[in-house]
């Protein structure tokens, strides 16, 4: 399946807030006559903001600044000095400063909106054993790995996605409800309704590739013996806004998960540019969250994307903003796909059943660490079969490649429990099957190369260190 479908945001209903949200004075303190407190107005709509503070800012100071700017703190993450706040006052951004705050919702409202497209995916009811259709598992030697180990229950993979179906028979044994949460306000919500799927089968498909049970029924995951947690970061319109992702990384760190699977890029920009004010806020907040998760020994595995772009030399972005009318814009090396291109994140490209880079898969020297099966819809059953609510389905994309890599990392963590996150990423790279650049990459037979692979056999822009190998992961 491709990355979660992006649609333009529907116009929000105005939500008015009574009273001013300015900070209150401590008991017994005299008011300072100058400057006067801001006059808060509530014309709506109530918007959500990501706010970045200087590192080590105390919670009291952050909250005071937010309320003083006519906002209300939803959550503050003191470990990274990042807050999620709401305000109905359109001057909130100016008061905090556009270099320090950003609202993806506001950007969406400013754009022309359309209705969300109907999901026409056909779902397949369980029909006996489906493992024979899983060419992808054979490609990475998963069955051979399972003869040695299926993974350890002490290893937890956080599926940061659209939610995981807790009732699916292939996933019941693996899913850890007590470690699951929804992040659609920017603050973790542990109620089951917050982390179960509503409009998208994407997260359930990803979860099945990682850990579907090896029980002789349905499909089997790469690491069926490990546990998974559902961390919902995709809203009902298919967006992954930055505050959702920050919440997901911080929740995974707090729960001491081993790995997170991130089959998405962060909206509303395919390439987040560090020299643009709002996008700089997004980059900094997400970078801090990922770095913190890494420091807590959580390995981040992320999809390179389905734009067929050279991430090392992107040139232009014609898909952003994803929540409005996309405009073609030049992008340079300061513009990156989040979270895949951050330091200590394992970036994953996709190959088809012939171990050739899928045409849709983005690539780039230094951006891709490993590759994995994502499939190709041009051949019968060429996509990846996995679980979806109510059954099974085939999907293609780097979204499908990423959980193969996360599953192999989970197997490595199972046999090397002492390994920290950085070392786990290095071990994942080391076990990969070397794939050299193809001599001819003319996929449609037009006589023109569809992309150019750079680098050398052991490390190149299409495949990074190579194809993940489950058997090598548990034997080397």
Are the C-beta atoms of 107 and 93 separated by less than 8 Å? no
Q: Comparing 370 with 109, which gets the higher pLDDT?
A: 370
Q: Give the per-residue pLDDT at 200.
A: 97
Task: Report CA-CA distances (Å) from 349 to 170, 223, 429.
Answer: 26, 20, 13
Which of helix, strand or coil describes residue 37? coil
pLDDT tens for 407-456 read 999 999 999 999 999 999 999 999 999 999 999 999 989 999 999 999 99
Element housing 47 (H / E):
strand 47-52
Helices 202-211 and 398-415: angle between axes, nearest 10 degrees: 30
* Mean pLDDT (whole number) for 450-476: 96
3 has pLDDT over 60: no
Element housing 405 (H / E):
helix 398-415
First and final C-alpha spacing in the chain = 31
460 has pLDDT over 90: yes
pLDDT tens for 228-286 read 999 999 999 999 999 999 999 999 999 999 999 999 999 999 999 999 999 999 999 99
pLDDT tens for 59-96 read 999 999 999 999 999 999 999 999 999 999 999 999 99
pTM over 0.85: yes
Q: Give the per-residue pLDDT at 128.
A: 67
Q: Give the per-residue pLDDT at 108.
A: 79
- Left, alpha or beta for 76 (phi > 0: left; psi -120 to 50: alpha)? beta
Q: Give the per-residue pLDDT at 155.
A: 98
Of 3-12, 235-244, 303-312, the range with the lowest mean pLDDT is: 3-12
pLDDT tens for 118-168 read 233 333 334 467 878 899 999 999 999 999 999 999 999 999 999 999 999
User: What are the E-state strand segments in 304-422?
Assistant: 315-317, 329-331, 335-336, 345-351, 370-373, 384-388, 391-395
11 has pLDDT over 60: no
Task: Report CA-CA distances (Å) from 352 to 8, 273, 289, 475.
Answer: 30, 31, 32, 25
Contacts of 293 (CB under 8 A, 6+ apart): 249, 250, 252, 253, 260, 300, 421
1 has pLDDT over 60: no
Q: Comparing 116 with 318, which gets the higher pLDDT?
A: 318
Rounded-to-integer distance, Cα 473 and Cα 351, Å: 19
Comparing C-alpha atoms, which of 434, 438, 324 is closest to residue 370? 434
36 has pLDDT over 90: no
**Half-sphere exposure for 445 (CA within 13 Å, toward CB):** 0
Comparing C-alpha atoms, which of 134, 199, 210, 176 is closest to residue 402? 210
User: With the C-alpha atoms ordered 320, 293, 423, 214, is the resulting torsion angle positive or negative?
Assistant: negative
Q: Give the per-residue pLDDT at 42.
A: 79
Structure tokens, 446: 């037009």
pLDDT tens for 92-113 read 999 999 999 999 999 877 654 4
Beta partners for residue 310, in sequence order:
363
Residues in the chain, total: 476
Model confidence at 476, pLDDT cuts 50, 70, 90, reads confident
Helices 421-430 and 277-295: angle between axes, nearest 10 degrees: 90
Q: Output the average pLDDT for the chain.
A: 89
2 has pLDDT over 70: no
């Amino acid at each position: 399946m491709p990355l979660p479908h992006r649609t333009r945001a529907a116009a929000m209903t105005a939500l008015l807030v009574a009273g001013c949200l300015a900070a209150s004075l401590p008991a017994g303190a005299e008011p300072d006559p100058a400057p006067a407190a801001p006059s808060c107005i509530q014309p709506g709509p109530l918007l959500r903001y990501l706010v970045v503070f200087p590192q080590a800012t105390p919670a009291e100071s952050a909250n005071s600044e937010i309320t003083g700017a006519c906002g209300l703190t939803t959550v503050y993450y003191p470990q990274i000095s990042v807050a999620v706040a709401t305000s109905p006052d359109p001057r909130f951004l100016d008061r905090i400063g556009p270099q320090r705050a950003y609202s993806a919702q506001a950007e969406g409202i400013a754009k022309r909106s359309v209705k969300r497209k109907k999901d026409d995916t056909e779902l397949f009811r369980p029909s006996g054993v489906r493992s024979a259709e899983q060419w992808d598992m054979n490609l990475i030697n998963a069955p051979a790995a399972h003869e040695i180990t299926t993974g350890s229950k002490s290893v937890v993979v956080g599926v940061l996605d659209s939610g995981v179906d807790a009732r699916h028979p292939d996933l019941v044994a693996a899913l850890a409800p007590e470690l699951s949460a929804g992040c659609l306000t920017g603050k973790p919500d542990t109620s089951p309704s917050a982390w179960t799927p509503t409009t998208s089968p994407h997260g359930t498909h990803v979860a099945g590739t990682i850990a579907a049970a090896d029980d002789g029924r349905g499909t089997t995951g790469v690491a069926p013996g490990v546990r998974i947690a559902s961390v919902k970061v995709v809203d009902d319109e298919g967006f992954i806004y930055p505050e959702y992702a920050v919440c997901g990384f911080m929740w995974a760190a707090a729960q001491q998960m081993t790995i997170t699977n991130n089959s998405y890029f962060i909206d509303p920009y395919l390439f987040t540019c560090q020299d643009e004010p709002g996008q700089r806020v997004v980059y900094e907040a997400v970078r801090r969250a990922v770095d913190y998760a890494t420091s807590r020994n959580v390995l981040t595995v992320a999809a390179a994307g389905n734009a067929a772009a050279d991430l090392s030399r992107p040139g232009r972005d014609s898909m952003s903003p994803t929540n409005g009318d996309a405009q073609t814009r030049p992008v340079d090396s300061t513009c990156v796909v989040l979270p895949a291109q951050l330091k200590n994140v394992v970036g994953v490209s996709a190959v088809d059943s012939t171990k050739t880079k899928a045409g849709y898969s983005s690539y780039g020297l230094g951006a891709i660490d490993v590759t994995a099966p994502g499939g190709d819809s041009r051949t019968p059953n060429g996509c990846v079969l996995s679980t979806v609510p109510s059954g099974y389905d085939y999907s293609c994309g780097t979204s499908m490649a990423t959980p193969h890599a996360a599953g192999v990392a989970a197997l490595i963590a199972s046999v090397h429990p002492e390994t920290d996150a950085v070392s786990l990423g290095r071990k994942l790279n080391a076990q990969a099957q070397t794939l050299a650049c193809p001599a001819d990459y003319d996929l449609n037979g037009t006589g023109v190369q569809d992309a150019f692979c750079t680098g050398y056999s052991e490390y190149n822009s299409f495949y990074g260190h190579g194809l993940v190998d489950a058997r090598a992961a548990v034997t080397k």
